[in-house]
Structure 1
Amino acid sequence: MNRIEVCYSPALFDLYKNKDAYVVVVDVLRATSSICTAFSHGVSSIIPVKTRDEAYAYKQKGFLVAAERDGIKLDFADFGNSPYNFSKENVFGKHVVYSTTNGTKTIQIAAHSKGVLIGAFSNISTLTNWIAKKNAPVIILCAGWKNKYNIEDSVFAGALTERLLATNAFYTDCDSAHAALDLWKHNKHDLRALIDICAQRERLRKNKLDDCIDFCLQLDSCNVVPIFNGTALVNAEI
């Protein structure tokens, strides 16, 4: 059986590194939910970049750019970080450069793992089934908020842990995985109530960007598994 671990912050990832493990990056509000939405709407690839300058350089080359900092769209970007921005009309058949406060940096941090996958509530079943076929350990890496713990990514980590354990192909002896699992079990029947107390919800509300929260909490709306190929995210074969 293969092991599940949960890492609550990119700042802790060096303590979990395992070259044989798949790393599932999660940033529920909003980056990984938006990435899954983009692939469900036919984006060709998403190029994650860490810095504003990198994103701007791509824009100067004519790329479509989605970028934000602290939730606010960067002035040169074509759009920001809401899943509603990644409509079929905006992204079908296109290559999108993407830079966010937390999520895209986390993808880059995990880039040298066996494989970097994108997780969200919207693709949780498809992701679980894909991982279960790979016979490899899994690290669920929460993007958090500027290297700090957050609730929304942790409760997703618990949900994914529960589903992976149910395949009987995984086990966990990881305290953070057990804590995430407990958080999920105690809140899964009223997930919105939990999210309503989290700091990111308040940040989004203050910027009038919280209209996508229910969308980001929907289960299984996307039949995709975005995977990082070393340069860009592409849709894995399912």
Structure 2
Amino acid sequence: MKKLETVLSPALLSLTDVKNKTVVVIDILRATSSICVAFNTGVAKILPVSTPDEAKLFKDFDFLCAAERNAEKIEGFDLGNSPKEFSNPLLADRNIAFTTTNGTKAIKLSKENGANIIAIGSFLNIETLVKWLQKQNDDVILLCSGWKDKVNVEDTLFAGAVAIELKASFSISCDSTLLAMAAYTSVKDSLQEFILQSSHAKRFEKLGISTDEVSTCLQLNTAPVLPLMQGEYIINCTPQEGM
């Protein structure tokens, strides 16, 4: 039976054999949520890059440039890391070079460690993601982006939510997965209230970012897309109905 593991921080990924496995990168607040919204809006492709300076290089190739550090949009860039920015219809058919504090780092780390497939997970596409994972033959790793290599609440809870949906299709003996499942089960009925107590929500509060940003990232299935890495780019690979 295929196996499901959870890695609670990118700092722990080196302890796990990633090769030939599917890695689901999770950054609920906010990179993977923004990526899902972008593709739901009609963005053509997203290039995850390591630094703001690297993102700027792609302006000459008709890319929009999106950059965030420490939860704030970097001045001079077209976009930051808010799902609301990525819902602009003018983004349809555009390419975006994207760098964030945590999420794009986790995506690139997964690729560097030899993942077979890299998928993007959020509450906004959870149903589409779960249905796709159930049909895959690979073992799966749920990689939480965390905050600067520290474990965080929102990514862990999402991993738990996914694991609960997949437990009939996968063998689960990973302690991190069991913890994530137990955590999600205990707070799922007051998920937003719980996450608003988290360090990342408090960080938003200090920066004057509305709690609506958290609410947006916790909505279920509002961006039912399947973003996957293809070479260096993330593209929308949403299955057609009936497939």
- TM-score, normalised relative to structure 1: 0.96
TM superposition shift of 1:61: 4.4
Q: 1:164 aligns with which of 163, 166, 170?
A: 166
Match for residue 4 of structure 1? 4
TM superposition shift of 1:89: 2.0
Q: How does 1:198-213 map to 2 (within 5 A)?
A: 198-210=198-210, 211-213=212-214
Superposed CA deviations along residues 200-233 of structure 1, whole A, max 9, x for unmatched, are 0011111122331111001111221100112110
Unaligned runs of 5+ in 1: none
Query: How many residue pairs get matched?
Result: 236
Match for residue 93 of structure 2? 93
Match for residue 59 of structure 1? 59
* Secondary structure, counterpart of 2:84 in structure 1: helix
* Secondary structure, counterpart of 1:17 in structure 2: coil
Give the letter aligned to residue 6 of structure 2. V
Superposed CA deviations along residues 120-165 of structure 1, whole A, max 9, x for unmatched, are 0011110000111112111000000000110000000000000111
Would you say the 8 A contact 1:55–1:98 is kept in 2?
Answer: yes
Match for residue 120 of structure 2? 118
Paired with 1:17 and 1:229, the residues of 2 have a C-alpha distance of 21
TM superposition shift of 1:88: 3.9
CA RMSD of aligned residues (A): 1.1
Would you say the 8 A contact 1:42–1:88 is kept in 2?
Answer: no
Match for residue 50 of structure 2? 50
* Secondary structure, counterpart of 1:203 in structure 2: helix
Paired with 1:234 and 1:62, the residues of 2 have a C-alpha distance of 17
Paired with 2:71 and 2:185, the residues of 1 have a C-alpha distance of 29
Give the letter aligned to residue 220 of structure 2. L
The answer to whether residue 144 in structure 2 is matched with residue 142 in structure 1 is: yes
Unaligned runs of 5+ in 2: none
Superposed CA deviations along residues 181-206 of structure 1, whole A, max 9, x for unmatched, are 00000000110121011000011111
Superposed CA deviations along residues 95-127 of structure 1, whole A, max 9, x for unmatched, are 011110000011000012010000000111100
Paired with 2:17 and 2:92, the residues of 1 have a C-alpha distance of 34
Poorly superposed stretches of 4+, deviation over 6 Å: none
Paired with 1:237 and 1:186, the residues of 2 have a C-alpha distance of 31
Match for residue 79 of structure 1? 79
Match for residue 230 of structure 1? 231
Paired with 2:30 and 2:12, the residues of 1 have a C-alpha distance of 21
Give the letter aligned to residue 5 of structure 1. E
Identity, in percent, stands at 42
Paired with 1:185 and 1:127, the residues of 2 have a C-alpha distance of 19
